[in-house]
A and B are shown apart, each in its own frame.
Chain A
Amino acid sequence: MSATGTATAAISDTLIDEIRGVVGAEGLITDPAATRVYECDGFVLARKSPQLVVLPASREEVAATLRLLWQAEVPFVPRGAGTGLSGGCLPLQAPVMVGTSRLRRIREVDVANRRAVVEAGVVNLHVTRAVAEHGLLYAPDPSSQGACTVGGNVAENSGGPHTLKYGVTTNHVLGIELVLPDGRVVELGGVVDDVPGYDLRGFAIGGEGTVGLVTAATLRLVPVPAAVRTMMAVFGSVDDACRAVSAIIAAGVIPAALELMDRLIVQAVEDAYGFGFPTGAGAVLIVELDGLADGVAEQVEAVEALCRESSADEVRVARDEAERAALWKSRKKAFGAVGRLAPNYCTQDGVVPRGSVPEILRRISAVAERQRLRIANVFHAGDGNIHPIILFDERDEDEVRRVLDAGREILEACVDLGGSVTGEHGIGVEKIEQMPLIFSPTDLRVMAELRAVFDPLSRCNPGKILPTPGACVELGAPRRQVPL
């Protein structure tokens, strides 16, 4: 159940007093009842409580805190809202956690230049809310966008259903303000796209908090699309649905979102909510198109035709906002519905080239058969980001073991097909053992050297991303997993 970390440095009372002097009593958590709730994020298979949680309220407080920790030679782990799905902020080898929940200011909204400077603890959705009156939005929209924060999005390079058209976090962050483990503050990137020299901004984004603590980011804002249409296509088989996906992309249409649900998911959703999907549907595709009104209307017709050419039994275009909301509800509630099929479920995250989606689905069903498990699939079809949901009962120890084996086999299959072990959940502690599957020893060594430039003494989230002897984590039984 608990993670096995190496021995951690002791925290002296003097250090605690000094940190309290910086952040005040309200910014410091020492009580074991309260530090206990920080033992895991959205990934609950590995747990370890920090000894101390610090919640600074400004860049200056972050810098002063990190300087004190640096001098005392105590490692720390940064934490955003704790919605991560791979254990990125597990305090594996660090006794201190530094959270960004009190860094909540939107420092600046620059409408003319379409950018905003926000602190790390600002909730993703609050950025879009703050700029909505100007007809702008912040595009990356992870499913946790109502709770996850910009700092965590930067650390994980988060995606979302609209990644296909709009890209991931790194495509929308112009610059970041980063406090290095020794307390120095650096600005990476800038306020424009093309900053001369090395792209250190790009290096730090997706660094999972191993190169310092992000205190603020300059975000790119995009105009709210003039028109949005959402449609649903029902297919007899997943293969037909995948052919439609390929045809849509090949035709040059870039949907804002392209989501696929397989037979098991469709049945579960239908049983739970009665959306009116035809019984026996092998797969349902949800397509969202956005842009200028005229163009969108043409694309809707094109996508409908392409779906029918790929043997769609039915294509339905949402007529109004209520129907559109209902379609998205079927996708977003899918996980809740799956909860009805089994006491527990565990969601994997992997990527394959779009063309290999039918093949990975075949391999997933082979894994399911071999391991005697039920696996449902709902995923971002447009970019080959799969999310197999493995159903099980945690009281059956043998089944739990088979679930973990199945997860590994599926990720290995992704790599085998030229993909990757994570699409959007990050490495954290969950997938650190699989890093050598996608990177050569030299790749990994260069990464380690580069990381050492920022964190030469491994004080910042040690034991993450790059496999090291101390980074092995014994995973417990998966509990019910979280929706994506």
Chain B
Amino acid sequence: MNMERAEHSAIDDSLLRQCVHCGLCLDACPTYVELGNEADSPRGRIHLATALAGGDLELSDEAVRHFDLCLGCRACETACPSGVPYGRIIEETRAHIEARHRRSWLDRLRRSAVLAVFPHRGRLAWLTRLVRALQLVGLWPLVRRLVPAARLFPKLSAGQPLRSSEPDGEAVRRVGFLRGCVSDVVQPQVNAAAARVLRRARVAVDVAAGQGCCGALHLHAGDVDQARRLARANIDAFDGRELDAVVVTAAGCGAAMREYGELLRDDPAYRERAARFAARVRDVTELVEPLLPESGGGQGAGRRVTYHDACHLAHAQGVRSQPRALLSRIAGWQLVELEESDRCCGSAGSYNLTEPEMAAALAMRKVDCIERSGADCVAVANPGCALQIAAELRRRGNPMRVAHPLELVDESLAARSE
């Protein structure tokens, strides 16, 4: 039976068997809370994946629907007492589905369009140039009406490409810096702010040439081969450069890179290098927080900021306290806690492009909480979440600022040194 399984399924049975069906994940799952349907819960999806792996369930459109609706936010992993690696299960199930299930042409178009543009910095740069041109000549409102996904684009500004830098005086750390695709193009000010803060923290920054997309979007879409190719390229780019860590400002990229070891476990040439690389990956907030001095009041003083836990930072990487400490201790803002701060905002990589309806419902729930917090600004450490939350705020006509924690730290440090 198990041999047979191994042949006709891409889903590792031993992962599925770790689930004891206790249901403690249910209330952590945004789609279950929204719909109340067990098949749209982590436990339900594991149940279905087990049936798929055992060949007991036909891969119908309806069955696939329940996996498509999963955000991959991994909030269930935080809730799970048995340590079920749900993120790996959903990725393997998606690979299983993509290899066997024929989607409608519209669905295929939508999915391939996302992968054709987003992970390619060059194409994304062209797209943003086009968007900026349309915004300048006033045609943007028309586009937004025709293409709902276009609502996600904020007003774009031209950014400077990020370069390697050395701090003044002796460096306390040397880090590689992954620029990321979306972050670097759509919100270049975040990487720029991070680089300035790292410099003040006396960290040398190495923007290694040859780096590229982290592969997260491919992995989430079930394209494991492409994800592996991208992982190898990044490992090659950063290897042998004597770095203390590899940092990134996008939680989604950080989470994906921390799993390169798992991703390349069957690749003898890369297995060990991948594990070493993964062990050095840090979110930029995690790395820089202990290296910065206390705030002397900061320019944020008196103003309130709330913090949204990006799923791929809180659930996938366990980073929760450092961004908060940066906001209050270093930037000097008054931190007000956000209700359901670690519930997914619906961005979830490219989810808001492939599942706009659920994404919109979750964005509304998130921004309801943000508005109730009474904050003047919301801090978010992931570009997807930032775009999603900003778009919903814009839709409501709410001018509240959305910023990466390091942007606020950068402003505060700049104000202090003046």
Contact = CB atoms under 8 A, between A and B. Distances in A.
Interface string B44-66: 10011001000001101011001
Interface in B54-94: 57-58, 60, 62-63, 66, 79, 81-83
Q: Which one of B24, B62, B66 has the highest number of Cβ atoms from chain A below 10 Å of its Cβ?
A: B24
B23 A34 contact: no
Contact of B21 (A102, A104, A332, A482): A482
A55 interface: yes
Contacts of A479: 17, 20-21
Contact of B57 (A36, A332, A333, A480): A36
Interface string A460-484: 0000000000000000000111110
Interface stretch (B31-39, B151-159, B205-213): B31-39
B39 A146 contact: no
A288 interface: no
Nearest to A85: B22
B24 A147 contact: yes
A336 B26 contact: no
A483 B22 contact: yes
Interface in A1-32: 26, 29, 31
A147 B22 CA distance: 9
Contacts of B26: 81-83, 147
Contacts of B23: 41-42, 81-83, 144, 147-148
A152 to B, nearest CB: 10
Contacts of B66: 33-34
Nearest to A82: B23
A147 B20 contact: no
A335 interface: yes
Given A37-B39, A101-B37, 9 more contacts: A29-B37, A31-B62, A33-B62, A37-B41, A41-B23, A81-B26, A146-B27, A480-B17, A481-B20
B338 interface: no
B198 to A, nearest CB: 31
A335 B21 contact: no
Nearest to A104: B36
B25 interface: yes
Interface of B: 17-18, 20-28, 32, 35-39, 41, 43-44, 47-48, 51, 57-58, 60, 62-63, 66, 79, 81-83
Q: Which of B18, B20, B25, B28 has the most CB of A within 10 A?
A: B20
27 contacts: A29-B37, A31-B60, A34-B39, A34-B62, A36-B39, A36-B48, A36-B57, A37-B43, A38-B38, A41-B21, A42-B22, A81-B26, A81-B27, A83-B22, A83-B26, A99-B36, A101-B36, A101-B38, A126-B27, A146-B28, A147-B23, A147-B24, A335-B81, A479-B21, A480-B18, A482-B82, A483-B81
- Bin the interface of chain A by size: 35 or more
Interface of A: 26, 29, 31, 33-34, 36-42, 44, 53, 55, 81-83, 99, 101-102, 104, 121, 123, 125-126, 144, 146-148, 332-333, 335-336, 339, 479-483
B211 to A, nearest CB: 38
Contacts of A146: 24, 27-28, 79
Of B23, B25, B38, B81, most buried by chain A (CB within 10 Å of CB) is B38
